Amino acid sequence: MALRFYNTLSQQVEDFTPARDNTVRMYTCGPTVYDFAHIGNFRTFTFIDLLRKCLRLNGFQLRHVMNITDVDDKIIRNAVARHTPLAEYTTVYTDAFLEDCRVLRLERPEILARATDHIQEMALAIAKLSESGHTYTSEGSVYFKIASFPGYGKLSHNDFSGNIAGARVDVDSYEKADARDFALWKAPKDAEPFWDTALGPGRPGWHIECSVMAIQYLGETLDIHAGGVDLVFPHHENEIAQSESLTGQPFARFWLHAEFLMVEGQKMSKSLGNYYTLRDIIGKGYAPEAIRYLLASVPYRKQLNFTFDGLKAAAIAIDRLRNFKLRLETDRFPEGVNEAGNARLAEAGQAFRDSLNDDLNTAEALAAVFEYIRDANSAMDAGLFLAGNAAAALQFLAEFDCVFDVLKPSVKEGELSDAEVEARIAERTAAKKARNFALADQIRDQLLAQGIILEDTKSGIRWKRK
Ligand SMILES: [Zn+2]
């Protein structure tokens, strides 16, 4: 099956290929670094990571830009309240975000673009929009005139024709689906930080940063623009209005949006006490790969209900996968190749790839993997799984893990790393060779105390974490 996505712009599922040279030019809206990111944010970022991996599985190259919003209303409010310079304040949360991404095994985009590194380019773009009659100025701030862009509303599929021209909004985020002229450039207020530019002193609005950085790094028309569904209006609608007014070209061919995350069936909110950062969940003792699995397991266009039972079930699913892999690596199967078994595997592999290509249907893809594992385990128990079937089965698990990335256990603080375990095993092997069995046993016991189980097999030592 060819790769296809639901496109918010057309409201259709469409076949996807990049416009040119096999490279997908993709822009995704990154974090606003005013606090630790919460698990709702990471639902979207995990979707982006799966999207990257599926694009690569289809043989495409990636040129992916993600912004770091390090200046906006909330950041300024918080930094001023703490008497901390803006850059110092945002560095803490940028670093925390990147560390959280590493823990959750989210690949780093090819280009991370910080808004404050592109202020002059934003000022130039705003000046260009002013020259072509898309803006007006009021008290030093510059607003985008939405009446100047006839396509306004085409992404969110709202009809804004009845709106009063000239009503305007100063804040970066506004929720009501009624359109307002929005701020491209904000004049400095009180003690707020500002930049000196060709437009005079001030700072950019949130929406203009994505348009400018996307076009700068990816060109006038992107293959994919993606983000959370909460960004469709106004943020992405405003990005389209600015970008297409600047270039006269379509801004993005495909718009992909991940649905909301609920917690235990309720909207996540601080007042309900069900608001969690990634760090909160890990602090409760859950493995990052279980969180990753749960976030990945629900197709991105469905609401995801994040529950602690769901996390426990994710950990059990991962155990099944790991045990199957270990069995493939360590069991002694009868010689030969079972052709029916290989045909069953090929069918599972096809179902796995087809499901992912079908607008990232991760639930179906996982079902294909687990149905195969169930069948293969039965074949093993019946003596029908042969030595010649193992390599291809391991290859399938590797392909699965290229996308889902949950097989390797995370190293917890204070735990031995894989390399440290391997080094201790090498010491133990040397001790046995030197007939120092006391030392060999001692190393085995020490490793066991740290949750590492050794298994002596004919093909050497295998180990796993408890
Ligand atoms: Zn954006």
Task: Output the DSSP codes for 340-373.
Answer: HHHHHHHHHHHHHHHHHHBT--HHHHHHHHHHHH
Average pLDDT over residues 131-159: 93
**Distance of CA 140 from the midpoint of ligand 1 (Å):** 24
**Distance of CA 89 from the midpoint of ligand 1 (Å):** 21
**Distance of CA 225 from the midpoint of ligand 1 (Å):** 9
pLDDT reported for residue 292? 98
Two tokens, residue 28: 């995704």
Taken in order 406, 106, 278, 238, the sign of the CA dihedral is negative
Indicate whether 159 pLDDT > 90: no
pLDDT reported for residue 178? 57
Indicate whether 465 pLDDT > 90: no
**Distance of CA 204 from the midpoint of ligand 1 (Å):** 13
**Distance of CA 353 from the midpoint of ligand 1 (Å):** 30
Indicate whether 177 pLDDT > 60: no
pLDDT reported for residue 133? 96
pLDDT reported for residue 411? 81
Indicate whether 375 pLDDT > 70: yes
pLDDT reported for residue 174? 67
Q: Which residue has the higher pLDDT, 140 or 250?
A: 250
Indicate whether 161 pLDDT > 80: no
Residue 443: count other Cβ atoms within 10 Å of its Cβ: 20
**Distance of CA 268 from the midpoint of ligand 1 (Å):** 22
Q: How confident is the model at residue 254 (pLDDT cuts 50, 70, 90)?
A: very high
Residue 287: count other Cβ atoms within 10 Å of its Cβ: 18
pLDDT reported for residue 162? 67
Instruction: Look up the pTM and report it.
Output: 0.90
Q: Which residues does residue 169 pair with via DSSP β-bridges, in sequence order?
A: 182
For 203-207, 329-333, 450-454, which range has the lowest pLDDT when averaged over its residues? 450-454
Considering the chain, what is the average pLDDT of its residues?
94
Indicate whether 304 pLDDT > 70: yes
**Distance of CA 256 from the midpoint of ligand 1 (Å):** 13
**Distance of CA 88 from the midpoint of ligand 1 (Å):** 23
Nearest to 131 by CA among 198, 46, 45: 198
Nearest to 4 by CA among 360, 364, 402: 360
Q: Which residues contact 416 (CB under 8 A, 6 or more apart)?
A: 424, 447, 450, 452
Indicate whether 62 pLDDT > 60: yes
Query: What is the Cα 446 distance to its own chain's centre?
Result: 38
Average pLDDT over residues 96-101: 97
Average pLDDT over residues 288-315: 98
**Distance of CA 258 from the midpoint of ligand 1 (Å):** 14
Kindly report, residue by residue over 268-283, the tens digit of the pLDDT: 988 888 999 999 999 9
Average pLDDT over residues 347-358: 98
What phi and psi, each to the nearest 5 degrees, are found at residue 447? -65, -40
DSSP designation for 106: P
Indicate whether 165 pLDDT > 80: no
Q: Which residues does residue 112 pair with via DSSP β-bridges, in sequence order?
A: 66
To which H or E segment does residue 203 belong? strand 200-204
Q: Of 155-164, 192-201, 251-260, 435-444, which one has max mean pLDDT? A: 251-260
**Distance of CA 373 from the midpoint of ligand 1 (Å):** 41
Average pLDDT over residues 49-61: 98
**Distance of CA 165 from the midpoint of ligand 1 (Å):** 25
